[in-house]
Amino acid sequence: MSSPIAYHEQALIPQAQLKEIYGLTPGRIKTLRKNDPSFPKRIKFGDTRQAACYYVARELDAWLLGKIKERDSAN
């Protein structure tokens, strides 16, 4: 699946853009981080709670492809 935004595979995607690119709301991201060990780990540049969170684009794509394979193998 290609994202609607072109990026370098090493690109960092701000958490705020995950809804636009992947359709993931902040609440859904929180649930995935808590309950899905395969969901990519975030990267924070700073130690404060307000520090911006980023995700590696290729890790998100790999996670999504894994979910698609899971779905297809269940059918």
Residue 1 has pLDDT above 80, yes or no: no
Residue 5 has pLDDT above 60, yes or no: no
What span, in angstroms and rounded, lies between the C-alpha atoms of 60 and 7? 12
Predicted pLDDT of residue 70: 94
pTM: 0.79
Yes or no: say if 43 and 55 are a contact pair by the CB < 8 Å rule. yes
Predicted pLDDT of residue 10: 76
Predicted pLDDT of residue 53: 94
- pLDDT tens-place string over residues 19-59: 999 999 999 999 999 999 999 999 999 999 899 999 999 99
